Amino acid sequence: VRGSLRRPRLAATMAPEVRVRRIAVLGCGRVGSAIARDLAEEFEVTVADRDEEALDRVARGAPVRGEVADLADPGEVRRLAQAADLVVGAVPGDMGFATLKAVLEVGRPVVDISFFDQDPFLLDELARDAGVTAVVDCGVAPGLSNLVLGREEATMDRVTRFLCYVGGLPVVRTWPYEYKAVFSPLDVIEEYTRPARYVAGGEVVTAPALSDVELIEVPGLGTLEAFNTDGLRTLLVTVDVPEMREKTLRYPGHAERMRLLRETGLFGKEPLLVNGVPVRPVDLTAELLLHHWRLRPGDEDLTVMRLVIEGVEDGRHVRRTYEMLDRYDRELGITSMARTTGYTCTAAVRAVAHGAYRRVGISPPEFLGREPACHELIVRHLAERGIHLAERTEPAG
Amino acid sequence: VRGSLRRPRLAATMAPEVRVRRIAVLGCGRVGSAIARDLAEEFEVTVADRDEEALDRVARGAPVRGEVADLADPGEVRRLAQAADLVVGAVPGDMGFATLKAVLEVGRPVVDISFFDQDPFLLDELARDAGVTAVVDCGVAPGLSNLVLGREEATMDRVTRFLCYVGGLPVVRTWPYEYKAVFSPLDVIEEYTRPARYVAGGEVVTAPALSDVELIEVPGLGTLEAFNTDGLRTLLVTVDVPEMREKTLRYPGHAERMRLLRETGLFGKEPLLVNGVPVRPVDLTAELLLHHWRLRPGDEDLTVMRLVIEGVEDGRHVRRTYEMLDRYDRELGITSMARTTGYTCTAAVRAVAHGAYRRVGISPPEFLGREPACHELIVRHLAERGIHLAERTEPAG
């Protein structure tokens, strides 16, 4: 199966140019609201959520229209999509697949950042039948990381190795976890539990999550640790690189602490009898970690990403390293996580809206990276918002 | 209140000599069975427990009579005590106080190692009215440690400082806890939660449990860590030493891991709603730790104790250090914990049975240490069983 999805790109169908005026942003969380605000500079934006307060907050800061809606209802999603020329999916992961499906059922182009568990290519036929572009996994990593790899794969003679180090971190480091999350602890625990798939010698192999801890130095920030997580997602099947690995970045010590909880059994999903009552350990643990991990309003965060791509370019072996260190936006009060995820998404929205990316069907960001004009538009869009990928190339053994 | 209990010793009443032939051992756990076996060399021993299998096991190895009995029933305890000349209390801590009370109600001398939470002096009047000796907390620490301090307090001009380092450890060190317990994890968690009382400048002060971690070297074993726990118990009121501290010994790293669990909220006693069901986090945690911490048959353990006593002796400041490193008894299959606890108890039983200790009322082991003949008998008894306290004295600043 690996690499088989590369072929369709040669025979890709292009969507007709559509004029995009009205955009529906589904979901008004931290990222959804940053997306709505950014898109409102150019489009007529409607943002939908169950949370009226969140809608009021974003409407106070930008000319967007809020609409209270239950996005768990596919009928509501279809109605909102039909009233728009393009849709952004920014719902929680467990609602993502159904939401994307409902949007495609009414034939609207869509850019999604819900990072749902299911294989997005299950919706490829639906998107093709509708003749629309559906960009998925369009955040930082997956997202920007895929875009960069797609670009290198299209321009190098061949790519031999891809390493992605990425993490969102709080500025203030509080013992013991030195970590804050904008997602549910259950999602983070899932990352620390699910075996990590990576590619070695052209084969997909697995390692336990939280394994192969190594220390890396980040200029201007200090030492972080990196460990295996299952983050390659679509890259496992869309690109043909024989060595690929994704690692999560945290402050040093985090992985061992999470392994301690995991090996103690605190991430267990099998109910345990506690005084005669069945309890899933992971539910209690997630409930407790919520208090420690919740990023509170005003808490500053940062996002670190390092991509290492080795390959043959003009007949020579090279190693190209991309480094990103993004920080909280104090002026707008937007987290770095929302900036890097949201602005990659709004960049892709513009690429689709302006006809720089017109491939029909499901497209993970590595497909967008293969189109030079689209890649350039996205990188420029991010740079205008202060998100830079510093790049250096050196000879590789 | 501190020190006030020293005075009664001057006016101590002595029990009449009684001939001890029959001993009832209440409780046939790891320690109770080691006690029964040891005492059977000299006395007629009846050991009582609810667990018939445990009774059969001990009866196979030694000439003791097992009796199935519900020791949670004070009537049963009184009946068993009445049929004996002396009683050993070796029930779980939460049953200890009621059991001791029932024994004293029928006026039998008793040596107790149940380490119950309640203040043992609440039973002093009952023991005095019955005219019997009741030795409590008679294990290693509290126990042997108190005996040694009592001895030094009686012989030095004055004691200025007492430090007790003590811990039971598995020989095989398994990540992450490197710890095994013969007691319920709930009891260990309680040690790691309850503020530690110690004495500084003559005053009782408290520190969080697991605090003031320091590393100590144990010859023949390696590096251990020591941290505050609330282990001084009766010494807080019975002796007049201006600096006293008790610390628990574990393999390095244990304290931080337990603090991680504690600070995460996993030792919490307030019910938390987990999917609508109230759960005490500590109950779930204890249930999970049971699998990691259970000392299984054949698992070898060791006991480490270091006592540092500073004071003025013959007009000179001295520091006297006692070191004990005791190991699992492979021949008899008796844990070091059962050896050190049980044999200190059987030594005290002999001191009472042979009239070397006759003080009426509640006696913690520091009272026994004040009687030279009693102290000598106990130390000799332990040495005969391979338990040695290596002693060295050096000048102190």
Q: How confident is the model at residue A397 (pLDDT cuts 50, 70, 90)?
A: confident
| pLDDT tens track for B109-123 | 999 999 999 999 999
CB contact under 8 A, A284 and B274: yes
For A277, the closest of B264, B265, B277 (CB atoms) is B277
Distance separating the N- and C-terminal Cα atoms of chain A: 30
Per-residue pLDDT tens digits for A337-347: 999 999 999 99
- The reported pLDDT for the residue numbered A10 is 46
Chain B nearest-CA residue for A258: B260
Q: Is pLDDT above 70 for B373? A: yes
Instruction: Tell me how far apart the alpha carbons of residues B176 and A79 are, in angstroms, rounded to a whole number.
Output: 53
B72 in contact with chain A, both atoms CB, cutoff 8 A: no
- The partner residue sitting opposite A292, judged by closest CB among B264, B273, B284, is B264
Check CB contact of B260 with chain A, cutoff 8 Å. Answer: yes
Please indicate whether, in this complex, the C-beta atoms of B277 and A279 are within 8 angstroms of each other.
Answer: yes
Q: Mutate which of A256, A264, A290 to test chain B, going by most B C-beta atoms within 10 A?
A: A264
Residues of B in contact with A265 (CB under 8 A): 288, 291
A271 touches chain B (CB under 8 A): no
Q: If pLDDT is split at 50, 70 and 90, which confidence band does A1 have?
A: very low
Report the distance separating Cα A313 and Cα A156, nearest Å: 5
pTM of the predicted model as reported, rounded to 2 decimal places: 0.89
For tokens 């992961």, the residue is A93
* For residue A65, pLDDT beyond 50: yes
Q: Find the residue in A nearest to B282 (Cα).
A: A274
Q: In chain A, which ranges are continuous DSSP H helix?
A: 30-39, 52-61, 74-82, 93-105, 124-130, 144-155, 185-191, 235-238, 254-264, 281-293, 336-353, 365-369, 372-384
- φ, ψ of residue B189 to 5 degrees: the values are -60, -35
Flag whether residue B213 sits within 8 Å of chain A, measured between CB atoms. Answer: no
Q: What is the mean pLDDT of residues A158-171?
A: 97
Q: What confidence score (pLDDT) does residue B11 get?
A: 62
Which of the four pLDDT bands, split at 50, 70 and 90, describes residue B4? very low
Chain A's closest residue to B280, CA to CA, is A274
Residues 131-160 of A with CB under 8 A from B: none
When pLDDT is averaged across residues A32-61 and rounded to a whole number, the result is: 97
Pairwise CB contact (< 8 Å): A292 & B266: no
CA A303 to chain centre: 12
Q: Let me know: does B125 contact B103? Beta carbons within 8 Å.
A: no
Nearest neighbour of A284 by CB, restricted to B257, B259, B281: B281
Give the model confidence (pLDDT) of A250-272 as tens digits: 999 999 999 999 999 999 999 99
Mean pLDDT of A301-307: 98
**CB B140 within 8 Å of CB B303:** yes
Chain segment B317-349, per-residue pLDDT in tens: 999 999 999 999 999 999 999 999 999 999 999
Q: Which residue of A has its CA nearest to B267?
A: A288
- Is the minimum CB–CB distance between A292 and chain B shorter than 8 Å? yes
The verdict on A128 touching B (C-beta cutoff 8 Å) is: no
Q: Residue A4: pLDDT band by 50, 70, 90 thresholds?
A: very low
B263 contacts in chain A (CB < 8 Å): 175-176
What is the band of B351 on the pLDDT scale with cuts at 50, 70, 90?
A: very high
A311-364 per-position pLDDT tens digit:
999 999 999 999 999 999 999 999 999 999 999 999 999 999 999 999 999 999
Look at B274 and A279 and tell me if their CB atoms are within 8 Å: yes
What number is the ipTM of this complex? 0.86
The mean pLDDT value for B95-108 works out to 98
| B380 contacts: CB under 8 Å, gap ≥ 6 | none
- Which chain A residue has the Cα nearest residue B283? A274
CB contacts, 8 Å: A175 with chain B: 263
Collapsing DSSP to helix, strand or coil, A335 comes out as coil
CA proximity to B308, closest of B154, B167, B159, B138? B159
Secondary structure of chain A: what % helix, strand, coil (to 5)?
35, 30, 35
Choose the closest CB to A274 out of B259, B284, B292.
B284
